[in-house]
Amino acid sequence: MAGYLALAVILVPWLGALAVWWAGDERRLAQHALAIVFALVTAVLSLMLLPVVSAQVVLSLSAGASFGTFTFVLDGLGVFLAIIAATIGTLAVIFSVDYMAGEAQLGRYYSLILLFIGAMIGLVLTGSLLLLFFFWEITAFCSYALISFHNDDPKAVSGGIRALIVTQVGGVGLLAGALAIYSVLGSFQIGGFLDQAEALPPGMLRWMAFGFLLAAAAKSAQVPFHTWLPDAMEAPTPVTALIHAATMVNAGVYLLARFYPAFAPVGGWKVAVVTVGVVSAVLAAVMGLVAVDIKRVLAYSTISQLGYMVYAIGVGGVFASQFHLMSHAVYKALLFLGAGAVAHIIGTRDMRQMGGLGREMPFVRAVFLVGALALAGLPVLNGFWSKELVLEAGLGGGPLWAYIAMLLCAGLTALYTFRMVWMVFYGTRRSEGAVHDAPLAMRLSLVVLALGTLTSWVSAGPFGQMLARSLPFHTLDVASTGQIVLTVLMAWPTWLALAIVALGLSAWWWRERLAKFTSRLRFLARAAAGDFGFAWLDEAIVRTAQGTAEKLSLTQTGQLNWNVLGVVAGLVVVLVFLIWRA
Amino acid sequence: MIPFPLIIVLIAVLGLLGVGLYGLLAVRNLIKIVIALQILGKSALLALIAAGRASGQVNLGQSLALTFIVADTVVAAIGLALAVRVRRRLGTLDARELGKLRG
């Protein structure tokens, strides 16, 4: 029963993708309706997974000798991420009804989104590393195709290609790790690997641990691979909210969390993870301070918050990291959709041309403010609880320098968040033209996400218990929501963090008085605007890949006779090999 | 049972294979390419039957051969249909022209 449910929750959105495609671009209403219905059914199915959470393999499909068995496991970690993908996917689809109202080729748009939702759910529910790799690549493809959705815009096309190439670097790391596991254990099963990790040769384990860290850093846009995420902001905003804030970029964090028990004993791995997280969080926060494109600010903030999650895993707080992932998925989707509504209505993403929009769009301002307060980590909202848990985990299990950096980063987060809110909704209008509030479908998604931001932290206790119950290889100490609330409120680091956040706020409030000080930091701002020079690495990767492709394209003559020659040559090679073996 | 001159059949298989491959490599007319493909197919067909006989699994060899005939016919039909479309669209049957297709 549970096995069929697991299969259904992956296949229903894929069926939906076919159905939307089949409906055809002339029947726009049918396409909107089909996409919403299939996404909703997926969301309901994903919620039905909650009662059947367990550590057992619920479905195994034999896929022949060389692929091993394709298994599906409905444990807490997977089910929770599947629910996030399905519900936020549904809200993004509903939002799209208004957002994509005037666009052509809805079939391509909705099909790719539904294909992505199915692949993302498959990625987190599968227990086979090879299948995980397949789903991983499908999500990368959907991300590329949706970033480049406006394929007549060269910026969108190059952004998509860059995202694809850079995440492929991570994909190669993942595949190498999977093959290494296969070569030792003769199977791709994740559970079996976690069980026998201690018995593996340490050199092999070390390679895999750092290979997976590379994969995670590329997928989750961590330093030094982070520059693809800001470039991915050319995607339609619902896509950004779904793929580049709430789900796909979390796949790297998921990978680290999933394999944490095996890799934690590897010497230097935890320090490397902490370093990646801290450097990403701090650098991205500084870059978020100087960006002027509202979606780029949010992209840098996503990198920064993903840094928090990676950091939490590095210090052993797997639960804190997953809890922060949940909070972040909800409030960042809210912020992106809110920013999308603003940009859609006034027709630009440049914050210098916004300002004073709060009066004309009080609704968007209200929900955006909820998301912004959660991002800044102010009390009662979900971002506050999860960020405090991350910081407490860091104080308990990580190096002190990392904790202090993350604490300061919380202040930076508050600073760039309020700079953004101010530039968009307050101050004086810097643009002309009529402005109206968000239309109905947009409001619906935004309200649901705002309510989620206000309340999702209540589920912390049950969520932790679900993880602890179904993850046999992780050691998690979990408590009820009440206990978590109590510990967070009673701990002095919470108040210290709040003081730092308040400091960040007041820094924005008194920005004029600090002008003398900030003018000294001009050089830092220039460096941040230039991505601290990290762009060259991504640039080098992209250039190498494209240059090689350019050269290899000479072998594709398009001439039938040459292709036949290739076939014959291949045949000869196979024959020679067979004779040589015989 | 009729004596089975395997070597003669093998020579025929290789001969047909050579003719078919040469046709695919050297010929540019789409119709002739389809014919070359057919000759190549016949070589495989003969090889299947011979392999069935040589390994003592005559039934298996013959049923595979029958399956192959069906598939081969479909290939020929689609190949010719494509050739007709190409001729109507481009006014030529030259395979080199296909390489310049854009969009």
The residues with which B29 forms a beta bridge, in sequence order, are B94
CB pair distance less than 8 Å for A558 and B95:
no
CB pair distance less than 8 Å for A561 and B101:
no
User: In chain B, whose CA is at the least distance from the CA of A557?
Assistant: B99
Give the pLDDT of residue A110. 94
In whole angstroms, give the CA distance from residue A488 to residue A557: 65
B100 contacts in chain A (CB < 8 Å): 558
A568 contacts in chain B (CB < 8 Å): 21, 25
Domain ranges of chain B: 30-89
Q: What is the rounded (10 degree) CA torsion for A353, A355, A361, A362?
A: 160
Nearest by CB to B24, from A557, A558, A564: name it.
A564
In whole angstroms, give the CA distance from residue A571 to residue A103: 48
CB pair distance less than 8 Å for A568 and B33:
no
User: In chain B, whose CA is at the least distance from the CA of A568?
Assistant: B21
| pLDDT over 60 at B1, yes or no | no
In whole angstroms, give the CA distance from residue A448 to residue A116: 22
The total of other beta-carbon atoms located within 10 Å of residue A4's CB is: 11
CB pair distance less than 8 Å for B33 and A559:
no
Q: What is the DSSP letter of A57?
A: E
B99 contacts in chain A (CB < 8 Å): 557-560
DSSP string, A437-485: ---HHHHHHHHHHHHHHHHGGGGHHHHHHHHHHH-TT-------HHHHH
To the nearest 10 degrees (0 to 180), the angle between helices A250-263 and A318-346 is: 170
Give the pLDDT of residue A368. 92
pLDDT digits (tens, 9 = 90+) for A149-205: 998 888 899 889 989 998 888 898 898 888 888 888 888 888 888 888 888 888 888
CB pair distance less than 8 Å for B98 and A564:
no
CB pair distance less than 8 Å for B100 and A564:
no
| pLDDT over 70 at A62, yes or no | yes
In whole angstroms, give the CA distance from residue A394 to residue A400: 8
Give Cα A522 distance to the centre of its chain.
31
| pLDDT over 50 at B103, yes or no | no
Contact A310, A273 (CB under 8 A): yes
Q: Give me the interface pTM, i.e. the ipTM.
A: 0.73
Contact A177, A211 (CB under 8 A): yes
To the nearest 10 degrees (0 to 180), the angle between helices A154-185 and A535-552 is: 90
Nearest by CB to B25, from A557, A558, A561: name it.
A561
B21 contacts in chain A (CB < 8 Å): 564, 568
Q: What are phi and psi of A13, to 5 degrees?
A: -65, -30
CB pair distance less than 8 Å for A561 and B28:
yes
In whole angstroms, give the CA distance from residue A544 to residue B32: 42
Give the pLDDT of residue B101. 59
B44 contacts in chain A (CB < 8 Å): none
- Residue A110: helix, strand or coil by DSSP? helix
Considering only A83-92, A486-495, B13-22, which range has the smallest mean pLDDT?
Answer: A486-495
Nearest chain A Cα distance for residue B5, angstroms: 23
The residues with which A350 forms a beta bridge, in sequence order, are A293
